[in-house]
A = this chain, B = another copy of it.
């Protein structure tokens, strides 16, 4: 953790990215809820989507407090995120869950790393709006049960997850190139990028193994 206070513009950039992530997570979970095989699962996923919007509101409020405009702060991320989702449209309920499990897992790990270089209320807010583990637990249970019922599913979902990671990395690099403030924020906090990448990769591999998928 750094002793330096990061520039407000970098924090606005970061909060804008997280706010847009929440808005998109809401949208995607709401769409996935429609793929649910029954009303119970549909309600569970809809409730989770509702929490993303609560988080979105908290981030948007903080952006406004910092003198940022939520809409303007989110705009730089729209294209990359849209392209990611257009390239990775889930074909069914399980692909949707695997996408949420894999994608949110990596996004949350990364967000936790960024929060560590921040101080005070922004760090607390960000740690607080990270996906609670209920969604990951629900997705993991569903994935494990589906693989137990039909082991061939593991292969299909492992390949699907590799595609998600590949597409995610390519869009993340694009954002990083266009918005250097985030990389500077991390660099200013003394982050070792090689080590960060190793931590993210090893957490991802552990998550895949935990539900019976291979990386």
CB within 8 Å of B: which residues of A? 20, 23, 26-27, 30-31, 33-34, 38-40, 42-43, 46-47, 49-50, 52-54, 56-57, 60, 70-71, 74-75, 78
7 contacts between A and B (CB under 8 A): A20-B39, A23-B43, A27-B30, A27-B33, A39-B78, A40-B70, A50-B50
A111, B44: Cα distance in complex, Å: 25
Contact of A49 among B34, B42, B43, B53 (CB under 8 A): B53
Which residues of chain B are near A78, meaning CB under 8 Å?
A: 39
A54, B54: Cα distance in complex, Å: 10
Contact of A39 among B42, B43, B57, B71 (CB under 8 A): B71
Which residues of chain B are near A57, meaning CB under 8 Å?
A: 47
Looking across the interface, which residue of chain B has its beta carbon closest to that of A47? B53
Contact in complex: B46, A53 (CB < 8 Å): yes
Looking across the interface, which residue of chain B has its beta carbon closest to that of A28? B30
A57, B51: Cα distance in complex, Å: 12
Contact in complex: B56, A47 (CB < 8 Å): yes
Looking across the interface, which residue of chain B has its beta carbon closest to that of A60? B43
Report A118 CB to chain B, min CB distance, Å. 24
